[in-house]
Amino acid sequence: MKCPYCDDDNTQVVDTRENEDGDTVRRRRRCVVCDKRFTTYERVELQLPQVVKKNGSRTDYDRDKLKASMMLALRKRPVTTESVGGALDRIEEKLVTLGEREVASDRIGELVMRELKKLDKIAYIRFASVYRNFEDVEEFSNAILEVKKPRSRRPGS
């Protein structure tokens, strides 16, 4: 592992920890040359499907691009980066369990909206307004009513 500060590849692992789910390993490293410390994360690389865009073109799934879209909707909202990471992990898990080689971008958009709705209702509305291409106040109003609906309770709860 190269040091991000001096670009030397002589680093030592100082501490290793797994996250609660056991699917990510966090390593604290120290550069032997410049003595700076940095953190790396290790996770299983899954074979994710190709994304089929609305115009029919295909592209590789890009976690960073999806994260950037979510972060834009979550801008200045009280949501931790760990929560966003968990949402991205759930989206990727769903994509892998579909077992398909290709998935429509619309399907990914719906998965993002589902996760944003759980994380932050304002971010959900922001994302939905762009994703669903709201053209008037009525559509905003409908989306707001959708997030305001009380969840139906199960008997005995």
Residue 28: name the closest of 36, 45, 16, 19 by CA.
Answer: 16
Q: Which helix (H) or strand (E) holds 153?
A: none
99 falls in which pLDDT band (50, 70, 90)? confident
| DSSP-derived pairing of the beta strands 58-59 and 50-52 | antiparallel
Quickly tell me which residue has 């999806």 as its tokens: 66
Residue 27: name the closest of 17, 36, 19, 37 by CA.
Answer: 17
For the stretch 15-48, pLDDT in tens is 999 987 777 899 999 999 999 999 998 887 668 8
Give dist(CA 14, CA 83) in Å, integer. Answer: 26
| DSSP-derived pairing of the beta strands 50-52 and 102-104 | parallel
140 falls in which pLDDT band (50, 70, 90)? low
pLDDT above 80 (res 102): yes
Give dist(CA 94, CA 111) in Å, integer. Answer: 8
pLDDT above 60 (res 152): no
